[in-house]
């Protein structure tokens, strides 16, 4: 792989030795440098997008957003001053990708962590954030908290029921013993009544 310095030296020698106009040299250099640009990975795109969003740099964030979802990129008060904590597992499926994203919200009461998937798609062979699908992932987060709360309540109820099972078993056994005793007594009374009637 040829380095930029080597390319510059070759271009300078060519322009000096062949007396070509500097404009052609500059245009050639720009063409070479443009061809050497690398596209960002899904993780790099995600990081750049969220850093721009938390800093309120909407125009910069739009550069990393798919064209059809750029209109959705607006100032989000709830993430202003937040920090992108990390990105995690990356799943690439052809022209689509998901990047696990962790954002730490900063507010007066406490710091809250949001964990969600940033959804990306390839647009002109460049990874872009599909902000609509990413917003959909963010919108279900409160339901996730409700589900976790319900799960916690269910766990508490289950634990209490497990503690009460021996008590229920004892009560059922006691009830069945009492029922058997009363049935025996009833049977004896019936036998007595039958024996009295026969006499």
Residue-range definition of the domain harbouring residue 166: 141-199
Shared domain for 133 and 189, answered yes or no, is: no
Q: Is the pTM of this model over 0.75?
A: no
68 and 155 share a domain? no
- Say yes or no: 73 and 146 in one domain: no
Are residues 145 and 131 part of one domain? Answer: no
Tell me, what's the pLDDT at 115?
A: 84
Check which CATH number belongs to the domain holding 70 and give it. 3.10.450.50
Decide: residue 62, CB within 10 A, 0-12 exposed, 13-18 middle, 19+ buried.
buried
Q: What angle do CA 56, 60, 66 make, to 5 degrees?
A: 110
Predicted local confidence at residue 2, as pLDDT: 46
- Please give the backbone phi and psi of residue 88, each rounded to the nearest 5 degrees, phi first: -125, -130
Phi, psi of 99 (to 5 degrees): -125, 120
Q: Name the one residue in this structure whose structure tokens are 């721009």.
A: 52
pLDDT on residue 113: 80
User: What is the predicted pLDDT for the residue at 45?
Assistant: 94
Q: What would the pLDDT profile of 99-153 be if each residue is shown by its tens digit? A: 998 888 876 566 778 888 999 999 999 999 999 998 888 776 665 555 556 666 7
Backbone angles phi, psi at 168, to 5 degrees: -60, -45
Q: Domains in the chain: how many in total? A: 3
Phi then psi for residue 163, to 5 deg, are -70, -30
CB half-sphere exposure, 117, CA atoms < 13 A: 15
Place of tokens 């269910």: 154
Same structural domain, 172 and 154:
yes
Same domain, 79 and 62: yes
Please give the structure tokens belonging to residue 47.
């990081």
Q: 3-state DSSP call for residue 85?
A: strand
The average pLDDT across 154-160 equals 75
DSSP H helices, 55-199, are: 58-63, 131-139, 141-198
Q: Are residues 147 and 194 in the same domain?
A: yes
Q: Phi then psi for 40, rounded to 5 degrees?
A: -75, 145
Tell me the average pLDDT across 183-189: 89
pLDDT of residue 83: 78
Q: Does residue 113 share a domain with residue 50?
A: yes
- Nearest partner of 195 among 182, 187, 184, judged by Cα: 187
- Closest CA relative to residue 136, chosen from 98, 80, 189: 98
Identify the domain boundary among 118, 139, 160: 139
- The residue among 123, 139, 155 that closes a domain is 139
What are 137's two structure tokens?
Answer: 């992932």
């Amino acid at each position: 792989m040829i380095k930029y310095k080597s390319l510059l030296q070759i271009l300078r020698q060519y322009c000096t030795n062949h007396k070509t106009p500097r404009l052609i040299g500059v245009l050639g250099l720009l063409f070479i440098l443009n061809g050497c640009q690398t596209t960002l990975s899904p993780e790099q795109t995600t990081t750049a997008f969220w850093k721009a969003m938390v800093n309120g740099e909407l125009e910069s964030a739009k550069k990393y957003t798919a064209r059809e979802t750029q209109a959705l990129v607006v100032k989000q008060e709830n993430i202003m001053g937040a920090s992108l904590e990390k990105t995690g597992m990356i799943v690439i499926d052809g022209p689509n990708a998901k990047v696990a994203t962790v954002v730490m919200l900063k507010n007066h009461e406490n710091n809250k962590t949001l964990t969600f998937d940033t959804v990306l798609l390839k647009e002109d062979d460049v990874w872009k954030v599909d902000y609509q699908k990413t917003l959909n992932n963010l919108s279900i987060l409160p339901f996730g908290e409700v589900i976790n709360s319900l799960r916690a309540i269910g766990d508490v109820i289950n634990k209490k029921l497990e503690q009460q099972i021996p008590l229920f078993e004892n009560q059922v056994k006691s009830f069945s013993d009492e029922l058997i005793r009363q049935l025996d007594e009833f049977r004896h009374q019936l036998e007595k009544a039958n024996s009295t009637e026969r006499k």
